Amino acid sequence: MRRRRKKYDLYIVVALAIFCIGYFTYNHISSESRGIKAYTTALESYKNADYETAYQEFGKVPSGSSLKASALFRQARCATNMGKKELAIKKYKRIVRSSSKSSIVPISEYNMATLMLDTGDKGAKRHFKRIIKKHPTSDYAIASEYYLGLIGLKNLPENEKRQAKAKEKAVINFKTYLEKAPDGRFAISSIEEIEKLHPKLTNYDNLLIAKSYYANGDYEKTKAFLNKTTLAESWADFAKNEFKLGNKDKVKYYTELGLKDYAAGVSQDDVIEVIDNYVSVFPSRKEGISFLASKNYNSTGADYIAYLNCNEVTPDNLQEACYRTLYEKYPNGQFSGEALYNIFMAKYLHKKYQDAQRLGFLHLKKFPNIKSSPAVMYYMGRISNKLKHYESANNYYKQVLSKYPDTYYAYRANYNLFKDDGTLPFFDLNNKPVVFPYKKSLEKNLVIKLALLKDYDLVAELCRQDKFIQSWIAYQKGDYTISAVLARNAMEELTVKPPFTDLRWRLIYPLHYYEIADKYKGNNNPIIIESIIKEESHFNPYAKSPTGAGGLMQLMPATYAEIVKNNKLPNDIFNPENNIRGGSVYYESLKKVLGNKDLYAISAYNGGIGSVTGWFSKLIYNDTDEFVEQIPYPETKNYVKKVLRSYWVYGNIYSL
């Protein structure tokens, strides 16, 4: 009897457990679906500036929904927009007091603290301090320094000594802000607050203020504060500022004086910028470089001047000697790797393969991941192939594809590994949309949910540091050029590149206008046309170059006028369809004259058909690689590599 009862009790317990699990599961699913529905409705009202309705609708998001914190945040924003600051503070407090570790917490606490400051709540100070302590690298921590400075001045004690200390502390807050955000929205206000207090400013302080004015584009005020510093500390800043003011003679004066007497201690990046500015104020770039090189400076920047000078030297044998001197003089300098690469390439092109191989081994060991690394690795493969070390050659090609998949040399390595008839391996693409750059396996992530609900503004605020998400938001808003550039810069910062199936690649290489390129391809490869569009204009249909070239494919007006005349096109160079159609016709005409070879047509699209036909007789080359590496125009050589790189990456992303 007892055994039966125990068995009966066990059944009841199991049944209750199943019921509870089912109930809570159902309740969670129900809360989530109701939350999504309420949030979507509320967001529409919010976007239409109907904050009263939006506030009520956001309030319908259930507590069990993962969107509850976001709904509270939006309610706080609604209340702020309606002028109900106390209500907004109350909503923010609920988020801050929660145990959530979401990125919505620091921004909520920051917004709450600023509102508390507006309403005279002394608790604001405590929250700003907490933000700095808990989120020291965030933008909110930097802005909190500014607000702490304001709070310190607002509540000055009557005692003179304490008052002096409070002012001193406020000045430190404002200076900390300027150090961390010289171009921030509170930078000028911080400077004004400092000036009101009339503190004794050091040279460093004056330079800090000058740099902030410079970052904000006020070059006259920059000059006023630079004049309160010493040249030893700020000659590079003087030179950069005079360049912005258009004073060419002073640019020359400060640059030459600084490189001669004060370059030590100045950052290499600043010195490079100063030198580039200096060179640009001369009638020709070559003249400016030659003049600087003749000075024989022996300080920071000397290696860069030598590198620029070597780039201008002709003929080839003199250029190789120049790079060798540069490398021997600055073996550990910033440009020694590029110098060694140029010596390596000279040996390769002169068919001194064993000498080149020794240099290649040295380069790959000493400079494993610099701009020229993929080129050296690729040509080490070519050298191994010429020396009949076929397995070694294939290993080099595979390394290029693995380590540098999105480069021109990956495209060339792939060709050497899987040689066919020499034609381009991709001709058509599968249209894949640009989507949120992180996979849906992260579905529980709040940011992804907000992105799917199209709450782009909140996603942007929560992900200020993620350039890929910022790129995606720009894309959603139709800012395609900004989107592509942001994503490209973010990808360049990654040491290890993801596979081409990664969604982030689509942001850098979206298929804008591909349907038009395919429609009017004629005898062209539409992926090449798409790649030209990307490199010429970054998808900006209204792009215009300093030389007058316009539209997506950057056609010169005279060229386009001739195409219009012969093909009965509308005379609107900035219309995407007209421009792509005209550009495709022009590219096909170049290709037809140049033996139906894309390599030569791409070269002619940038360097001119006359130049390319001239190179056929002037250059000594046996294959594609030797032709490309010897293109006399650096801009055209880089252009060819960029277009073929884009072609290669497009093919890998959208042909898989």
Q: Which two tokens stand for residue 198?
A: 């009339």
The pTM assigned to this predicted structure is: 0.87
**629 and 404 in contact (C-beta within 8 Å)?**
no
330-345 tens-digit pLDDT = 999 899 999 999 999 9
Number of other residues whose CB lies within 10 A of the CB of residue 390: 11
Domain boundaries, the chain: 1-99, 122-229, 440-502, 524-654
- Between CA 128 and CA 135, with CA 132 as vertex, the angle to 5 degrees is 120
102-107: long-range contacts, CB 8 A cutoff, minimum separation 24: 102/69, 102/446, 103/446, 103/447, 103/462, 103/463, 104/69, 104/70, 104/73, 104/446, 104/462, 105/69, 106/131, 106/134, 106/135, 106/138, 106/140, 107/73, 107/140, 107/461, 107/462
Task: State residue 4's pLDDT score.
Answer: 56
Task: State residue 3's pLDDT score.
Answer: 55
Q: Which two tokens stand for residue 578?
A: 């007209």
Mean pLDDT within 99-109: 86
Mean pLDDT within 423-434: 88
In one-letter notation, the amino acid at residue 142 is: I
79-101 tens-digit pLDDT = 999 999 999 999 999 999 987 77
Q: What are the distances in angstroms from CA 136 to CA 129, 130, 451?
A: 10, 9, 27
Number of other residues whose CB lies within 10 A of the CB of residue 45: 18
Provide the percentage of residues in the chain whose pLDDT is more than 90. 85
**236 and 258 in contact (C-beta within 8 Å)?**
yes
Which residue from 226, 195, 197 is spatially nearest to 210, judged by alpha carbons? 226
User: What is the rounded CA–CA span in Å between residue 181 and residue 131?
Assistant: 17
54-79 tens-digit pLDDT = 999 999 999 989 899 999 999 999 99
User: What is the rounded CA–CA span in Å between residue 207 and residue 220?
Assistant: 14
Q: What is the DSSP letter of 184?
A: S
User: What is the rounded CA–CA span in Å between residue 494 and residue 497?
Assistant: 6
Per-residue confidence at 420, pLDDT binned at 50, 70, 90? low
Task: State residue 26's pLDDT score.
Answer: 40
The CATH fold assigned to 524-654 is: Lysozyme (1.10.530)
**Above 90 in pLDDT, residue 370?**
yes
465-506 tens-digit pLDDT = 899 999 999 999 999 999 999 999 999 999 999 999 999 999
Task: State residue 410's pLDDT score.
Answer: 97
User: What is the rounded CA–CA span in Å between residue 589 and residue 566?
Assistant: 12
7-44 tens-digit pLDDT = 555 555 555 555 445 444 444 457 889 999 999 999 99
Per-residue confidence at 656, pLDDT binned at 50, 70, 90? low
Task: State residue 14's pLDDT score.
Answer: 52
Mean pLDDT within 392-397: 98
- Between CA 240 and CA 249, with CA 245 as vertex, the angle to 5 degrees is 75
266-304 tens-digit pLDDT = 899 999 999 999 999 999 999 999 999 999 998 899 999
207-251 tens-digit pLDDT = 999 999 999 999 999 999 999 999 988 999 999 999 999 999 999
Measured torsion, CA atoms of residues 150, 152, 154, 156, in degrees rounded to the nearest 10: -160
**Above 60 in pLDDT, residue 184?**
yes
- Between CA 529 and CA 537, with CA 534 as vertex, the angle to 5 degrees is 110
User: What is the rounded CA–CA span in Å between residue 642 and residue 636?
Assistant: 10
Cross-strand bridge partners of residue 555: 550
**476 and 511 in contact (C-beta within 8 Å)?**
no
The sign of the CA dihedral 143, 147, 148, 153 is positive
**Above 80 in pLDDT, residue 442?**
no
Q: What are the distances in angstroms from CA 364 to CA 303, 392, 624?
A: 21, 15, 24
Mean pLDDT within 116-124: 95
Q: What is the DSSP letter of 550?
A: B
Mean of the per-residue pLDDT values for the chain? 92
Q: Does residue 499 have a cis bond before it (omega within 30 degrees)? A: no
Per-residue confidence at 103, pLDDT binned at 50, 70, 90? confident
3-state secondary structure 10-61: HHHHHHHHHHHHHHHHHHHHHHHHHHHHHHHHHHHHHHCCCHHHHHHHHCCC
Q: Which two tokens stand for residue 396?
A: 């080099």
Q: What are the distances in angstroms from CA 345 to CA 89, 96, 311, 359, 587?
A: 65, 60, 14, 9, 31
592-612 tens-digit pLDDT = 999 999 999 999 999 999 999
Residues 6 or more apart in contact with residue 477 via CB below 8 angstroms? 456
User: What is the rounded CA–CA span in Å between residue 437 and residue 487?
Assistant: 10
Q: Which CATH number describes the domain made up of 1-99?
A: 1.25.40.10
